[in-house]
Amino acid sequence: MQGLNLAQPGLRHDPLWFKKAVFYEVLVRAFADSKGSGAGDFTGLINRLDYLQWLGVDCLWLPPFYASPLRDGGYDIADYKAVLPEFGTLPEFTELVSQAHARGIRIVTDLVMNHTSDQHPWFQASRADPEGPYGDFYVWSDTDDGYSDARIIFVDTEVSNWTFDPVRRQFFWHRFFSHQPDLNFENPAVQDAMFDIVRFWMDLGIDGFRLDAVPYLFEEEGTNCENLPKTHEFLARLRAMVDEEYPGRILLAEANQPPREVVDYFGTDGAPECQMCFHFPVMPRLYYSLREEKAQPIIDVLADTPDLPTGTQWGTFLRNHDELTLEMVTPEERAAMYGWYAPDPRMRANVGIRRRLAPLLDNSRPEIELIHALILSLPGSPCLYYGDEIGMGDNIWLTDRDAVRTPMQWTPDRNAGFSSVDPGKLYLPVISSLVYHYNNVNVEAQMASSASLLHWVRGMLQVRSRHPVFGLGDFTVVESTNDAILAFTRVLEGDATTPYEAVLCVNNLSSRPQAATIQLPEHLAGRELKDLFGGSGFPWVAADGRVTLTLGSRDFFWLQLRGGEDNG
Ligand SMILES: OC[C@H]1O[C@H](O[C@H]2O[C@H](CO)[C@@H](O)[C@H](O)[C@H]2O)[C@H](O)[C@@H](O)[C@@H]1O
Ligand SMILES: [Ca+2]
């Protein structure tokens, strides 16, 4: 943005940066078009880095921007070492990395190891020449009855995980679309190829990879072909290479699995795997709790979450480029969530809901604020989804997940300031619905209004970044007399570099004002409560650890617990 006049701090050395970071998922294609092509590009994103620095994000996650026929938003890769020409060139990508680094922003890209596009030269060679060097690069079979215990993930489009290839006259295995054949990880040459790809991008300066669809790398008869020991062995080898050759870079697992399975992707002390894993089950519970107006679903899912190994962190999120997945909730919870959040069948996709954050919450500012307050204070490093900071809408008349991948809305001008192209040539139309029209919902307008959602989100990120307790501190649910109130503490014991801090977070999930008495543990009794946002007049915690608070509808407090021997 013009006139932001920001200092360029550069990257600070901090091996545990990811534990305190706020991530921001941005589709290159959707953010800013610098060339008038109708699709976003690297230079467009570079031009908007000042905005992202101003917003206060620490790391960008870029979904695939590699050569691809784009039949699955780029998750169908045709060349792992080439960028899609419409996005720019490799030198423009490296310029993006260095410009982001100059602003103190790291970059994590997507690594899709499980499968390629059927247009990838490896697949073309594999189908044409079974005896050739790529003949064994994919999972081929004469029949389609193997691995029958593996579920189908894209239930809207696929009827089998096997598809017959008329060229090779065999079936090939695919966990996702039938144009995305799975690579054969049993083949050491496939594993070597992945190491080579990791080195290629790390040599260009990226700070890590999100490992797409990582539970599905290996297959084994008689299992559901998810989370297999061989997958973990491969990841441990990959991590060892990264630690050895690229210390400080991270691996972030995308494993849409229950927490007890996901935690295995952190690896063990002797064989670490990923520094971060997305925590899928907590996300739908936030939405569930908002409608049920009860804290228990969030408490339960966090109680089911094993402790983090040292030096690791959860990745949390409210929305992303996919449907809001409901794979990790019970059938009863799923039915309730479809009823609350996807009353029109068009809003559904696979096992989930293809809507953005603001429309999901019917554009309710108190609910949008509360759910942000939760994701920014619960354990984990939050990942925001581009456009949600201004409350962008979606378009359920577009197909599949394109509903939530429309151009970023910068201004009320043509194409929302995203592109100068003829509107008919945009990769997807900008949102022009009644409530979310880009005339009203755009960065320029929200920058001009200090009461906007954009300024509010930025303020929240500023507060979070001033308090490392949110990234590093222990998390404990504390008892409350009101089941609509979720209360928890974050406590950082502190060391030579980071001071002690304790914060009490109190969230009213109800649409009505509520009061609750909260029971803090003995070591936090008798403390003064100081509002992190500058509010005043809070009661002290009594000597028995109790404090009674009243909260407005969907209200929340972040209260520093001051006055213990340890924090003066
Ligand atoms: O590359 C195939 C897909 O991989 C990711 O998929 C994940 O999202 C799915 C929902 O769309 C989810 O059900 C699955 O468990 C995940 O692995 C990627 O994020 C998708 O965009 C992509 O199509
Ligand atoms: Ca596989």
Given 441, 464, 487, which residue is the final one in a domain?
Answer: 464
Q: What separation in Å is there between the alpha carbon of 224 and the centre of ligand 2? A: 11
Given 394, 429, 464, which residue is the final one in a domain?
Answer: 464
Q: How confident is the model at residue 364 (pLDDT cuts 50, 70, 90)?
A: very high
Amino acid (1-letter code) at residue 359: P
Whole-number pLDDT of residue 378: 98
**Residue 335, in any domain of the structure:** yes
CB 226 less than 6 A from any atom of ligand 1: no
The Cα–Cα gap between 116 and 366 comes to 42
Q: How confident is the model at residue 567 (pLDDT cuts 50, 70, 90)?
A: very low
Residue 446 sits in the same domain as residue 484: no
**Residue 344, in any domain of the structure:** yes
Phi, psi at residue 17, to the nearest 5°? -55, -35
Q: What pLDDT digit, counting tens, does each position of 167-214 carry?
A: 999 999 999 999 999 999 999 999 999 999 999 999 999 999 999 999
Domains contained in the chain, number: 3
**Residue 8, in any domain of the structure:** no
Q: How confident is the model at residue 8 (pLDDT cuts 50, 70, 90)?
A: confident
Q: Give the percent of the chain with pLDDT over 90.
A: 95
For residue 73, which atom of ligand 1 is closest to its CA?
21
Whole-number pLDDT of residue 197: 98
| CATH classification of the domain holding 510 | 2.60.40.1180
**Residue 68, in any domain of the structure:** yes
Roughly what angle, to the nearest 10 degrees, separates helices 365-377 and 453-466? 20
**Residue 11, in any domain of the structure:** no
Q: What separation in Å is there between the alpha carbon of 189 and the centre of ligand 1? A: 25
Whole-number pLDDT of residue 565: 47
Ligand 2 is an ion; its neighbours by CB within 5 Å are 114, 182, 216
Select from 162, 181, 8, 192 the least CA-distant residue to 100: 8
Q: What separation in Å is there between the alpha carbon of 335 and the centre of ligand 1? A: 21
Neighbouring residues of 466: CB distance < 8 A, sequence distance ≥ 6: none
Mean pLDDT of 9-15: 90
Q: What pLDDT digit, counting tens, does each position of 59-103 carry?
A: 999 999 999 999 999 999 999 999 999 999 999 999 999 999 999
**Residue 4, in any domain of the structure:** no
Residue 511 sits in the same domain as residue 451: no
Asked whether residue 566 carries a pLDDT value surpassing 70, the answer given is no
Roughly what angle, to the nearest 10 degrees, separates helices 282-292 and 296-303? 160
Residue 524 sits in the same domain as residue 441: no
Neighbouring residues of 57: CB distance < 8 A, sequence distance ≥ 6: 22, 23, 24, 105, 384, 461
Select from 281, 287, 273 the least CA-distant residue to 214: 273
Asked whether residue 496 carries a pLDDT value surpassing 60, the answer given is yes
**Residue 6, in any domain of the structure:** no
Host domain of residue 533: 474-562
For residue 215, which atom of ligand 1 is closest to its CA?
17
Mean pLDDT of 275-291: 97
338 DSSP 8-state letter? H
| CATH classification of the domain holding 210 | 3.20.20.80
Select from 504, 565, 501, 554 the least CA-distant residue to 529: 504
**Residue 9, in any domain of the structure:** no
Is residue 476 within 8 Å of residue 521, measured between CB atoms?
yes
Q: What pLDDT digit, counting tens, does each position of 113-145 carry?
A: 999 999 999 999 999 999 999 999 999 999 999
**Catalytically annotated residue among 165, 207, 212, 292:** 212
Catalytic site includes residue 58: no
309 DSSP 8-state letter? P
Q: What is the mean pLDDT of the chain?
A: 97
Whole-number pLDDT of residue 1: 64
CB 176 less than 6 A from any atom of ligand 1: yes
Residue 140 sits in the same domain as residue 173: yes
Q: What pLDDT digit, counting tens, does each position of 220-261 carry?
A: 999 999 999 999 999 999 999 999 999 999 999 999 999 999
Residue 84 sits in the same domain as residue 126: no
Residue 311 sits in the same domain as residue 460: yes
Phi, psi at residue 121, to the nearest 5°? -55, -30
Q: What separation in Å is there between the alpha carbon of 225 and the centre of ligand 2? A: 8
Residue 93 sits in the same domain as residue 120: no
The Cα–Cα gap between 358 and 367 comes to 9
**Catalytically annotated residue among 110, 182, 254, 389:** 254
The Cα–Cα gap between 168 and 166 comes to 6
Catalytic site includes residue 212: yes
Residue 365 sits in the same domain as residue 493: no
* DSSP SS3 for 551: strand
* DSSP SS3 for 135: coil
Q: What separation in Å is there between the alpha carbon of 109 and the centre of ligand 2? A: 20
CB 394 less than 6 A from any atom of ligand 1: no
| pTM score | 0.97
Whole-number pLDDT of residue 426: 98
Select from 433, 412, 432, 414 the least CA-distant residue to 423: 414
Question: Could you tell which of 212, 227, 385 is best to mutate to test the pocket of ligand 1, judged by most ligand atoms within 8 Å of the CB?
Answer: 212
Give the residue whose CA is nearest to atom 9 of ligand 1: 322
Q: What separation in Å is there between the alpha carbon of 321 and the centre of ligand 2? A: 22
Q: What ipTM does this complex have?
A: 0.93
Is residue 177 within 8 Å of residue 76, measured between CB atoms?
yes
Residue 57 sits in the same domain as residue 119: no
Residue 194 sits in the same domain as residue 167: no
Whole-number pLDDT of residue 2: 56
Residue 448 sits in the same domain as residue 507: no
| CATH classification of the domain holding 133 | 3.90.400.10
Mean pLDDT of 430-455: 98
Mean pLDDT of 338-360: 98
CB 153 less than 6 A from any atom of ligand 1: yes
CB 323 less than 6 A from any atom of ligand 1: yes
Residue 166 sits in the same domain as residue 205: no
Whole-number pLDDT of residue 390: 98
Given 464, 485, 504, which residue is the final one in a domain?
Answer: 464
Select from 70, 68, 72, 96 the least CA-distant residue to 81: 68
